[in-house]
């Protein structure tokens, strides 16, 4: 058995985890003071993917993803800091949280760590015992709920879009796409606003399939990366995350990519589907998780262990 820790069982719970996150968020009481004029969403890995993905929404104020060890200079007492840290064990999240408290900036924490959740008055406490990268639906739905509650983004019909998720269909689509990526280096492209999805798929292919993968935004890739495909083009597969609501200019850029590379590099398209932007982001993220899982099985690799990541974090935190 390749999937020794049964990651598949947790992937199948994705829709129920979304419902669970919404229920928990609705029961959480928040107290924010004064007028917030910008939001910083902080985290690394899966948490940063969530931060990048939610930045795709139409916003009433700036929403800025942060993944370093220090808050941007723009962060002040008119800001809201959202700390996304499922385990509460990542050093960047810990340092950013301490800095925000030291500067007396308002904070909302989303975590499974009881100690941190109890220490912070504005906290969504998530269920424990989940592999952090698979806590994506909990973190994503919680974050969207917060942004919607305080009217930083428009209402997103969260409950309706969660109910529309089709686990079997997402699994099947993920499997069919994964077959096209076996023995390839995926180059994942999306619009600049949807880059978070490309980053999430890259992250999950890296961690689950233990396979190199790279992400970039269109049209930027047309101006540089395609030149790198001249040598050994058969090594690569291009994945385009496609939204029918892309601008005409972006559609022309994608068409140019197809025209120039169609006989040289395999091109796979992931069509975003959903009732609104939240629905599209949620469903596409779910398909991406299945792509990485099935690619791991095709590579005959257990998707759960991440030995090199664990070793690197151990060195970092010494």
pLDDT tens profile 255-308: 999 999 878 899 999 999 999 999 999 999 999 999 999 999 999 999 998 887
Question: For the segment 137-184, what is each residue's pLDDT rounded down to a tens digit?
Answer: 999 999 999 999 999 999 999 999 999 999 999 999 999 999 999 999
Does the pLDDT of residue 317 top 80, yes or no? no
If asked whether residues 130 and 148 sit together in one domain, one would say: yes
Considering the domain architecture, whether residues 12 and 145 belong to the same structural domain is answered as: yes
User: What is the arithmetic mean of pLDDT over 112-133?
Assistant: 95
**204 and 185 in a common domain:** yes
- Per the prediction, the chain carries an average pLDDT of 95
User: Over 80: is that where the pLDDT of 315 sits?
Assistant: no
Domain range for 184 is 164-298
40 and 78 share one domain: yes
178 and 153 in a common domain? no
Q: How far is CA 85 from CA 57, 118, 243, 247, in A?
A: 21, 14, 29, 34
pLDDT of residue 316: 65
Phi-psi region of 92 (alpha: psi -120 to 50; beta: other; left: phi over 0): alpha
pLDDT at residue 318 in the model: 66
| pLDDT greater than 90 at residue 17 | yes
Residues 112 and 186 in one domain: no
CATH number at 86 reads 3.40.50.10490
| Residue 313, pLDDT above cutoff 70 | no
Question: Do 132 and 201 lie in a common domain?
Answer: no
**Whether the predicted pLDDT of 221 surpasses 70:** yes
In this prediction, residue 226 has a pLDDT band, given cuts at 50, 70 and 90, of confident
Please give the Cα distance from 134 to 298 (Å, whole number). Answer: 20
Tell me if 313 is assigned to some domain.
no
- Tell me the backbone φ, ψ of residue 171, rounded to 5 degrees: -65, -45
Contact present, 152 and 131 (Cβ < 8 Å): no
> In the predicted model, is pLDDT for residue 4 greater than 90?
yes
The mean per-residue pLDDT over the stretch 132-138 comes to: 98
Question: Based on the structure, what is the number of domains in the chain?
Answer: 2
Same domain, 119 and 232: no
Percent of all residues in the chain with a pLDDT value above 70, rounded to a whole number: 98
Task: Please indicate, yes or no, whether residues 179 and 129 belong to a single structural domain of this protein.
Answer: no
The whole-angstrom separation of Cα 251 and Cα 89 is 41
pLDDT exceeding 90 applies to what percent of the chain?
87
Q: Residue range 89-108: average pLDDT? A: 96
Mean pLDDT over 98-108 rounds to 97
Relative to beta strand 123-125, strand 185-191 is unpaired
Over residues 49-69, the mean pLDDT reads 96
């Amino acid at each position: 058995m390749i999937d020794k820790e049964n990651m598949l069982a947790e992937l199948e719970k994705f829709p129920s985890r979304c419902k669970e996150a919404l229920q928990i968020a609705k029961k959480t009481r928040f107290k924010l003071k004064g007028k917030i004029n910008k939001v910083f969403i902080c985290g690394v890995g899966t948490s940063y993917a969530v931060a990048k993905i939610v930045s795709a929404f139409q916003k009433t104020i700036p929403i800025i993803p942060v993944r370093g060890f220090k808050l941007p200079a723009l962060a002040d007492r008119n800001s809201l800091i959202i700390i996304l840290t499922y385990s509460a064990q990542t050093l960047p999240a810990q340092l950013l949280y301490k800095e925000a408290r030291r500067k007396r900036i308002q904070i909302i924490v989303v975590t499974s760590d009881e100690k941190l959740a109890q220490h912070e008055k504005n906290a969504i406490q998530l269920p424990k015992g989940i592999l952090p990268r698979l806590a994506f639906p909990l973190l994503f739905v919680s974050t969207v709920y917060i942004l919607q509650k305080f009217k930083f983004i428009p209402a997103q019909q969260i409950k309706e879009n969660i109910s529309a998720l089709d686990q079997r269909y997402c699994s099947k689509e993920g499997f069919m796409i994964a077959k096209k990526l076996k023995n390839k280096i995926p180059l994942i492209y999306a619009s600049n606003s949807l880059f978070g999805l490309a980053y999430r798929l890259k992250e999950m292919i890296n961690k689950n399939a233990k396979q190199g993968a790279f992400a970039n935004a269109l049209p930027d890739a047309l101006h540089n990366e395609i030149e790198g495909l001249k040598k050994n083009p058969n090594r690569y597969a291009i994945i385009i995350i496609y939204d029918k609501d892309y601008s005409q200019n972006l559609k022309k850029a994608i068409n140019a990519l197809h025209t120039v590379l169609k006989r040289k590099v395999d091109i796979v398209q992931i069509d975003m589907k959903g009732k609104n932007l939240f629905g599209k982001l949620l469903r596409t993220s779910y398909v991406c998780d299945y792509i990485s899982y099935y690619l791991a099985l095709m590579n005959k690799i257990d998707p759960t262990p991440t030995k090199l990541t664990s070793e690197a974090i151990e060195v970092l935190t010494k």
